[in-house]
């Protein structure tokens, strides 16, 4: 492979990792600053935002109360609504890119998964029977409906007591419920065997954003005429999507991480890309099933 192409691949992967680390550190700093301020300790050059203020899902679950009563759910900030709108626009353009690039808890699961890959080798992320795995992936929609309903009924952030994301960044503050610690522990253990288990099976915000894979303008597209059927794109996908069987990936679990593309995994330039419009299709691709 030409050196220029290899350098481009390394650059794409490095940028994603840099962005993931940046958002993880940023959220950790914001949460730490907020918790210390409540204890009377103020850090210089640090703001006063909290985890609730920077979580777009708070804006999503506040939609009903905002529309019906003109108020926000308890603990939700106006900034959450703004971020929810920005996330919605990004999802319409690129799908759940926030999940694949910016979500600190998604990144945390990926990093734990690196240990799992050493423990299980090729069996990592392939331990569950395909039928069971496929069925479990719809659980997160049940979680989304449950969390949304309970938030509307209670008027507060109901999911906080069960949210492993909240537990991860607040474990030292004394504000985490037992359910949150249990969810975090189960997620860490599952991440040793399964790539992004919470994202796949339980994340309510991921479920909401995943729906936009059906509408997104820029999608993952495979050019069948240059595909060499090496399966590298499918092996690289952390969400176990069969990319090589599609001309346009519409799978509700795609997180737009771009790990399957010719910039990261596919050895043939311009074959798997993030693009608007349809790439060249062939009779072979159509026979394989078109979009997934």
pLDDT digits (tens, 9 = 90+) for 147-193: 999 999 988 888 999 999 999 999 988 889 999 999 999 999 999 99
3-state secondary structure of 48: coil
Residue with tokens 């506040």: 62
The structure tokens 């998964």 sit at 113
Q: Is the pLDDT of residue 102 over 70?
A: yes
CA dihedral angle for residue 171, residue 187, residue 55, residue 87, rounded to 10 degrees? 160
Tokens 């993952």 belong to which residue?
A: 220
Rounded CA-CA distance 9/55 in Å is 31
Q: CA-CA distance, 263 to 8, in Å (whole number)?
A: 7
Helix (H), strand (E) at residue 107 = helix 104-120
Helix (H, G, I), strand (E, B) or coil at 284: helix
Q: Are 143 and 150 in contact (CB under 8 A)?
A: no
pLDDT at 8: 58
- 214's CB contacts (< 8 A; 6+ apart) are 250, 252
Average pLDDT over residues 184-212: 97
Give the angle 129-222-234 at the CA atoms, nearest 5°: 25
Question: What integer pLDDT is reported at residue 92 of this predicted model?
Answer: 96
Task: Tokens 């423990």: give the residue.
Answer: 119
Estimate to the nearest angstrom the gap between the alpha carbon of 59 and the chain centroid: 17
Q: Can you tell me the mean pLDDT for 108-129?
A: 95
What is the pLDDT, as a whole number, of residue 39? 72
- Predicted local distance difference test score (pLDDT) of residue 162: 96
Q: What is the mean pLDDT of the chain?
A: 88
Taking residues 47-75, report their average pLDDT.
84
Predicted confidence band of residue 4 (pLDDT cuts 50, 70, 90):
low
Write out the E strands in the chain. Answer: 218-222, 272-276
Residue appearing with tokens 């969810």: 183
User: Hey, which of 13-17, 32-36, 179-183, 266-270 has the most confident mean pLDDT?
Assistant: 179-183
- Rg (C-alpha) for the chain, rounded Å, is 20
- Residue owning tokens 């609730």: 52
Dist. CA 189–CA 113, nearest whole Å: 10
Residue percentage of the chain with pLDDT more than 90: 68
Rounded mean pLDDT, 22-50? 79
């Amino acid at each position: 492979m030409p050196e220029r192409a290899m350098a481009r691949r390394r650059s794409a992967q490095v940028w994603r990792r840099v962005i993931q680390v940046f958002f993880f550190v940023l959220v950790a700093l914001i949460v730490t600053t907020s918790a210390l301020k409540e204890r009377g300790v103020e850090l210089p050059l640090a703001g006063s935002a909290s985890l609730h203020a920077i979580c777009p899902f708070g804006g999503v679950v506040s939609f009903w109360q905002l529309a019906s009563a003109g108020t926000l759910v308890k603990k939700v900030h106006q900034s959450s609504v703004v971020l929810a709108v920005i996330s919605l626009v990004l999802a319409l353009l690129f799908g759940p890119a926030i999940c694949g690039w910016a979500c600190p808890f998604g990144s945390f699961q990926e990093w734990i998964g690196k240990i799992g890959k050493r423990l299980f080798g090729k069996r990592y992320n392939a331990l569950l029977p395909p039928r069971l795995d496929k069925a479990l992936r719809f659980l997160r929609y049940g979680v989304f409906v449950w969390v949304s309903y309970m938030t509307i009924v209670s008027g507060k952030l109901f999911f906080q007591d069960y949210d492993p994301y909240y537990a991860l960044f607040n474990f030292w503050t004394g504000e985490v419920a037992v359910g949150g610690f249990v969810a975090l522990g189960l997620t860490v253990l599952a991440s040793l065997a399964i790539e992004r288990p919470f994202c796949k099976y339980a994340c309510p915000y991921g479920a909401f954003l995943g729906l936009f894979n059906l509408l997104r303008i820029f999608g993952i597209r495979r050019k069948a005429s240059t595909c060499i059927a090496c399966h590298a794109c499918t092996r690289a996908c952390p969400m176990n999507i069969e990319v090589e069987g599609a001309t346009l990936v519409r799978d509700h679990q795609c997180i737009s991480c771009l790990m399957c593309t010719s910039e990261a995994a596919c050895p043939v330039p311009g074959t798997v890309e993030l693009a608007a419009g349809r790439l060249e299709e062939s009779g072979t691709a159509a026979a394989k099933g078109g979009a997934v």
